[in-house]
Amino acid sequence: MSVFKDHKISVKELLGIIPEALLSKLSSTTNVDYYTKVLHGKKMFYLLLYGIVENEKLSQRTLEDTFNDSLFKTLFNLDKSESIRRSSISERLSKIDSDYFAQIYQCIYSQFHDAYPMTSNNEKHQLVHVDSSMVSEAASKLLEGIDHKNGKKSVKYTITFDGLLPCEFKVFTEPKYSSEDMALPEVIMDHVKQHKNHKNIYVIDRGLQSTRTMKDFSGNDIYFIARAKENRKYVELESLLDKNQNSDLGELSLIKDSKVYLYTGKAINNKRGNIHYKQELVKTPLRLIVAKTKTEDHKEFCFISNQFDLSAKEITQAYRKRWDIEVFFRFIKQELNVSHLVSLNKNGIKVVLYMTLIVAMLIAIYKKANNIGYKTAKRRFKMELRNLAIAMIVVICDGNLDRHCHKIAKPLFLRGFCCILYS
């Protein structure tokens, strides 16, 4: 049932992939329902799902109003006498088992990843983009965060993105993770552990510059492409340029393609107890590609990689696709308001981010299948969701909207939107 007849996939079909059996199973295998009377795991899951889609700016107050709304209670077959206050939502977000939402997130990602693979059997590798975004709040409000001199604290979201879906993320609040050289490798390593025998190449911006990390990646067979600073010190081992190599890289022209060793700074304590850094050569072969623009006064770009099988053009084009994660970040910030903190507790922040990325995956698949943009997808997703709610009310009220319906065999969402609606 969709008002958009040219769409290949509907909201009803997408939401049908979240079965009640999964939610029930996870409720018993996690501590999500430990010591709670009203806001059980299922209720929190659907409250956040519905709230993120329906509200332009999610807050604990809007979640309170949503839960107490008669339409929401009808949709989910909730006791009409049940009500909650904003303080209850705040406390629940701070203590609820985030692993419940993590496992739902992984299940949905796995289903979509299998149904919409970004790598064909003929392709050697899959590009996984890695980047971070900072969300700031007044220092007096945020319980845990990275301190800034301007009186604010920040939470860092670091996400891996496969070109369509967010496949891994972490929330960082410790000061050491203000450096991307700390945050990015940790997320990449966690992603590799969960995806053994992968064909991934991790594409990273200039945030990662640690030569030691690059050495560790090579030692663990983790392939990467990173933007390097222009003044990196190195020793050239071998030039990879040859007469048959095409120096035309599209908007760039190839200047250098070499196998190199990079230097790194080694911290040394001097006699006075001060720390200074000594340049040390790291003898792990890496690939340095230098290219210049055909415009912009021949601006140079440097790339570091441990991938020697691809051409220079393939490596630079792979890096250009990193823009996909920038578009995704902009979407979840502007359309799903991920830059607004609903909870000021780290556990609550993780739960809301899991739910935001679940909604983002649903909308991303809706966007891809129906060949529309992010904004259009989000708007139409919301419209279809409302139409489903209206259709349900009509069905359970036998077409009489003035009739107050108290009974419903199964909640609409928990039956996958499949059983009580007209096809």
Say whether pLDDT at 149 is over 90.
no
Distance (Å, whole) CA 224 – CA 47:
39
Highest mean pLDDT among 37-46, 220-229, 404-413: 220-229
Please tell me the predicted confidence (pLDDT) of residue 377.
94
- Reduced to 3 states, what is the DSSP secondary structure of residue 52? helix
- Reduced to 3 states, what is the DSSP secondary structure of residue 25? helix
Q: How many residues in total does the chain contain?
A: 423
Task: Report the run of H or E that residue 107 belongs to, with start and end.
Answer: helix 98-115
Please tell me the predicted confidence (pLDDT) of residue 411.
45
Widest distance between CA atoms in the chain: 87
Decide: 76 and 383 in contact? Cβ < 8 Å. no
pLDDT digits (tens, 9 = 90+) for 304-339: 999 999 999 999 999 999 999 999 999 999 999 898
Mean pLDDT of the chain: 85
Could you tell me what percent of the chain has a pLDDT over 90?
51
Side chain identity, residue 329: F
Looking at residues 66-76, what average pLDDT do you find? 78
Residue 233 backbone dihedrals phi, psi, to 5 degrees: -90, 135
What lies within 8 Å, CB to CB, of 134 at 6+ separation is 146, 154, 155, 156, 157
Provide the pLDDT confidence category of residue 381 given band limits of 50, 70 and 90: very high
Please tell me the predicted confidence (pLDDT) of residue 221.
92
Say whether pLDDT at 119 is over 80.
no
Distance (Å, whole) CA 311 – CA 314:
5
Provide the pLDDT confidence category of residue 409 given band limits of 50, 70 and 90: very low
In DSSP terms, which residues pair with 132 in a beta bridge? 158
Where are the alpha helices (H) located in 371-400, listed in sequence order? 374-396
Provide the pLDDT confidence category of residue 25 given band limits of 50, 70 and 90: confident
Say whether pLDDT at 404 is over 60.
no
Please tell me the predicted confidence (pLDDT) of residue 421.
40
Side chain identity, residue 331: F
Q: Which of these ranges, 121-125, 177-181, 237-241, 293-297, has the smallest mean pLDDT?
A: 121-125
Side chain identity, residue 395: V
Distance (Å, whole) CA 52 – CA 390:
19
Please tell me the predicted confidence (pLDDT) of residue 418.
41
Please tell me the predicted confidence (pLDDT) of residue 397.
67
Domain ranges of the chain: 11-101+343-415
Side chain identity, residue 356: T
Q: Which of these ranges, 88-97, 266-275, 341-350, has the smallest mean pLDDT?
A: 266-275
Looking at residues 149-158, what average pLDDT do you find? 88
- Cα distance from N-terminal residue to C-terminal residue, the chain: 6
Q: What is the pTM of this model?
A: 0.87
Please tell me the predicted confidence (pLDDT) of residue 326.
94
- CA angle (71 as vertex; 70, 73 as ends), nearest 5: 65
